[in-house]
Amino acid sequence: MADRRLQVFHTVARLLSFTKAADVLKMTQPAVTFQIRQLEEEYNIRLFDRLHNKITLTDAGKLMYSYAEKIFDMYHEMENTVKNNTNNVTGAIKIAATQTIGDYTLPDLLIAFRKANPDIKIQLKTADSMGLGHLVENGMVDIVVTDVPSEHKTLCCKEVSYDKMCVVLPKNHELASRSQVSIHDLANHPIIMFEEGSGIRSSIDTYLKSQNMDAKDLNILMELSSPESIKRSVESGVGVSILPYSVISKEQQLNSVVTLDLTPTLSNSLYFVYRRQKFMTKNIEELVDFSLAYFRNSAAEEQASKNASHIENYSINNIQDTENM
């Protein structure tokens, strides 16, 4: 592993914030400051200028940052070369994901992946969207799974799936008898939203713009960070919400809420983010390829189930019409 002090410096330099770097690295701010001070003392330089609670890189800091980028690139190239010096798919994959994706989307996928690749160990950690990119940039994880695409030049971002969104209502809600609703239909109803900054909220905000609306046009009663809190609030009749179908599968089975399709359709994409290099490790390549096939097959099975349900309902209606003749 590359020098820890250099990892800390690289993160602070990327974020230009000791506080944010401490959050991303799961360290205390004094510990981050200590690591930076050690580097400065070792090289007898000042890496950051501090003015009005803001920091900027000094010329020496910019030079060290450019070398840190090259060092991390070389380290990952070495790591991948060594790992790929075998035809076996073994070892471990370190994955980081947002809380919602880690709790609801990944478990079934990773269980299926492990069954197909029993020699690969999976290490999954969750973090907020802001810190995920830095975890993979600094080599702390191999791959990030997120609903926020990355445009960073050193990272490869591949869309592997999308999760259709739905409107979730209390069982006795006046809109519950419909089969679908528009975002305009929800404007006058109390609504519970994900907090700003989350991937799901970003998808909803973008969708609102496409419908010539914004969040101010909705009667937002609460903004919460946890899907569980949102679902419990809907179940208790506090308001309605917009959530991915994957998040409310248990509630659908228990029939504790009503779900309606949103029209036009709104989907939340899923992205696999990893370092852009000459080649991926076999582990990461296997996981990405497996995930593409897994979600593609899941979508096909879901569509086949809907088609079968439609045919069954059509047949029942025809029988009833015939009996009434």
Percent of the chain exceeding pLDDT 90 equals 44
* Per-residue pLDDT at 262: 93
Alpha-carbon distance of 197 to 178, in angstroms, equals 31
| 155, 304: one domain | yes
Mean pLDDT estimate for the chain: 84
| 153 vs 247, residue with greater confidence | 247
Looking at residue 169, its pLDDT comes to 96
Q: Which domain does 256 fall in, by range?
A: 162-269
> If you average pLDDT over residues 287-300, what whole number do you get?
84
| Residues 229 and 283 grouped into a single domain | no
Neighbours of 98 (CB within 10 A): 22
DSSP letter, residue 321: H
Q: Are 230 and 282 within one domain?
A: no
Q: CA-to-CA distance for 208 and 59, rounded, in angstroms?
A: 44
Is 239 a member of any domain? yes
Distance CA 282, CA 77 (A): 13
Instruction: Say if residue 120 is in the same domain as residue 254.
Output: no
pLDDT number for residue 184? 94
Query: Is 288 found in the same domain as 143?
Result: yes
Same domain, 221 and 141: no
Among candidates 34, 36, 61, which has minimal Cα distance to 49?
61
Inside any domain, residue 97: yes
Quick one: 270 exposed, middle or buried, by C-beta within 10 A (0-12, 13-18, 19+)? buried
CA–CA separation, 220 and 222 (whole Å)? 6
What 8-state DSSP symbol labels residue 196?
Answer: T
The domain boundary residue, chosen from 83, 109, 137: 83
Q: What 3-state class would DSSP assign to 222? A: strand
| CATH assignment at residue 27 | 1.10.10.10
Whether 249 is in a domain gets the answer yes
pLDDT greater than 80 at residue 145: yes
* Pairwise pLDDT comparison (1 vs 19), residue with the higher score: 19
Residue 278 reports pLDDT greater than 60: no
**How far is residue 188 CA from its own chain's centroid?**
30
Q: What is the DSSP string of 24-72?
A: HHT--HHHHHHHHHHHHHHHT---EEEETTEEEE-HHHHHHHHHHHHHH
Mean pLDDT of 118-124: 89
Least confident of 110-114, 240-244, 308-312: 308-312
The band of 325, judged by pLDDT with boundaries at 50, 70 and 90, is low
Determine the average pLDDT of the residues in 280-285. Answer: 75
Token digits of residue 102? 């880690």
Are residue 274 and residue 144 in the same domain, yes or no?
yes
Residue 303 has which token pair?
């569509």
Percent of the chain with pLDDT over 70: 85
Kindly state whether residues 56 and 154 are assigned to the same domain. no
Amino acid at 220: I
Judged against a pLDDT cut of 50, whether residue 114 lies above it is answered with yes
CB burial readout 51-78, b (16+ within 10 A) else e = eeeebebeeebeebbeebeebbeeebee
Instruction: Identify whether the C-beta of residue 56 lies closer than 8 Å to the C-beta of residue 16.
Output: yes
Give the per-residue pLDDT at 251: 93
Q: Based on the fold, state whether residues 234 and 244 are members of the same structural domain.
A: yes
- The number of distinct structural domains making up the chain is 3
pLDDT at position 141, please?
87
pTM: 0.66
What CATH number has the domain bearing residue 109?
Answer: 3.40.190.10
pLDDT at position 69 is: 84
Beta bridge partners of 92: 121
pLDDT at 314: 46
Secondary structure in 3-state letters for 286-305: HHHHHHHHHHHHHHHHHHHH
Question: Considering the domain boundaries, does residue 316 fall inside one?
Answer: no
Q: Helical H runs in 84-137?
A: 99-100, 106-116, 129-137
pLDDT digits 0-9 by tens, 28-81: 999 999 999 999 999 999 999 988 778 999 999 999 999 988 888 777 777 666
194 and 48 assigned to the same domain? no
From the CA atom positions of the chain, what is the Rg in Å?
A: 24
Residue 155 sits in the same domain as residue 172: no
Residue 313 lies in a domain: no
CB contact at 8 A, 145 and 104: no
pLDDT attached to residue 1: 44
C-alpha pair distances (Å), 315 with each of 40, 134, 304, 309, 311: 77, 55, 16, 10, 6
**One domain, residues 173 and 255:** yes
Q: Are 266 and 165 in contact (CB under 8 A)?
A: yes
Position 219 confidence tier, pLDDT thresholds 50, 70, 90: very high
pLDDT tens-place string over residues 124-135: 988 877 678 778
Maximum mean pLDDT: which of 22-31, 64-73, 78-87, 168-177: 168-177
Question: What six digits make up the tokens of 100?
Answer: 């919602």
> Is 308 a residue whose pLDDT tops 70?
no
The answer to whether residue 43 sits within a structural domain is yes
Mapping DSSP to helix (H, G, I), strand (E, B) and coil, where does residue 324 land?
coil
